[in-house]
Amino acid sequence: MSVKSSEKIGFVGLGAMGRPMALNLVRKGHEVIVFDLKREATQPLVQAGARAASLAEVAREADIIFTMLPNSPDVEAVVLGAGGIADHARRDTLIVDMSTIDPASTDRLAGALRDRGLGFVDAPVGRTVTQAEKGESLFMVGAYDNDLGRVRSALEAMGTTIHHCGKPGSGIRTKLVNNFLAIATCQLSAEAFALAQAFGLDPKITLDVVNGTTATNGHLKIMWPIKVLSGDTNPGFRIALAHKDLALAMEAASQFGVPAFMGAAAREALSLAKKSGDYGGRDFSALLDLACEQAGVAKVRVK
C-alpha cells in the first residue's frame, strides 16, 4: 500500500493509460491537478476529485509532474517547448515521463531539465490498460536515488512493481528491450497458430501442448485467452502503438550496431498490419486474426 506524499502531483496526458493511472493517484488520496488537450478527458478525473487546469498552471503548482504522451515530439513540445512545463515550473520540480519515446529524446529531456534546476525521471510502463485500471502496472524507472524516493509513493499508488533500472534514460531503454520481445513474439505466435489452423489442429489441444514446453510465452498463457482467443480485440495496446515501439527499438539497435533480423521482420509485419483495414486500432493480439486472414483460414477461437 502506498503512503500518500504531501507533494502536489500534476498529470499531463489522460489517454488510455494516463487516465486510469491518474485516477488511481486520486483514489489513493494524492492531491492531483490534471491537463489534457482534450478537455473532456479531464472530466472523469474532476469527478473523482482532481482539479483540471492549464498546462502552465500544472507546471507552476505541482511538485511532481507526470507526462504520459504518444511520442517523442509530443513529450519534447509539452516539456521543453515554448510555454511548456520547463518555462513555468519552479526550481526542484520533478518531471516524470512515462511515455514510450526515443531514448535520445529522453536524454535531451534529462539534460535540459537538469540545466534548469529541474529533476527528471523516466518511468515507462509495463502491462496493459486493464492492469492500469486495477492499479497493477509495472514501472521501469531511470532515476537517481533521491528522485526515486520522491516519486515512489505515487508509483506505488499506480502499480504493484517498481524496477529501478539505473540512472535517467535506463528506464526507456529497458522498456524498448521488453517491447521488442513482447511485440516480435506476438507476431511469431500469430504465424504459428495460423499454421496450426491451416493444419486443422484443435487450437485448445495445441495451446495445451505449447504451454507445456519452452515454446510458451505470455501471450499464449496469459493474454490471448482473455483477448483474441475469446474474440476480444478491443485495444489494450493498439497495433499502431506496437509498431511505433518496435520501430523505436529497431532504430536504437541500428544506432548501437546490434543485428536484429527477427525484429526487422516483425516490424515489417506490423507495418502491414497497421495499414490493413482497421487493424491499426485493434489490440495487438489481433495480429493472430490478421495472420489467419492472410493464410485464408478461419480465425482461431478457444471456448
Other C-beta atoms lying within 10 Å of the C-beta of residue 20: 21
Q: Which CATH superfamily is domain 9-168 in?
A: NAD(P)-binding Rossmann-like Domain (3.40.50.720)
pTM of the model: 0.93
**Residues 72, 17 contacting (CB under 8 angstroms):** no
pLDDT score of 2 = 46
Domains 9-168 and 174-295 share a fold: no
Parallel, antiparallel or unpaired: strands 51-52 and 64-67: unpaired
Other C-beta atoms lying within 10 Å of the C-beta of residue 283: 23
Q: Which residues are catalytic?
A: 175
- pLDDT in single tens digits along all 303 residues of the chain: 444 568 999 999 999 999 999 999 999 999 999 999 999 999 999 999 999 999 999 999 999 999 999 999 999 999 999 999 999 999 999 999 999 999 999 999 999 999 999 999 999 999 888 899 999 999 999 999 999 999 999 999 999 999 999 999 999 999 999 999 999 999 999 999 999 999 999 999 999 999 999 999 999 999 999 999 999 999 989 999 999 999 999 999 999 999 999 999 999 999 999 999 999 999 999 999 999 999 999 999 998
Parallel, antiparallel or unpaired: strands 64-67 and 94-97: parallel
pLDDT score of 20 = 97
pLDDT score of 105 = 97
The fold adopted by the segment(s) 174-295 is: N-(1-d-carboxylethyl)-l-norvaline Dehydrogenase; domain 2 (1.10.1040)
| CB neighbour list of residue 215: distance below 8 Å, 6 or more residues apart | none
CA atoms in the 13 A half-sphere facing the CB of 276: 18
* CA–CA dist 231, 36 (Å, integer): 32
Determine the residue type at 22: A
pLDDT score of 1 = 42
* CA–CA dist 9, 53 (Å, integer): 12
Cell of 240: 499502431
CA distances from 168 to 76, 106, 134, 245 (A): 16, 8, 27, 19
Predicted confidence (pLDDT) per residue in 37-50, tens digit: 999 999 999 999 99
* CA–CA dist 169, 147 (Å, integer): 14
Determine the residue type at 133: E
* CA–CA dist 221, 219 (Å, integer): 6
What are residue 161's phi and psi, to 5 degrees? -135, 125
**Residues 59, 88 contacting (CB under 8 angstroms):** yes
* CA–CA dist 227, 121 (Å, integer): 32
Q: Where are the beta strands (DSSP E) in 17-61?
A: 32-35, 51-52
pLDDT score of 83 = 95
* CA–CA dist 282, 73 (Å, integer): 24
In the chain, what are the domain boundaries?
9-168, 174-295
pLDDT score of 303 = 86
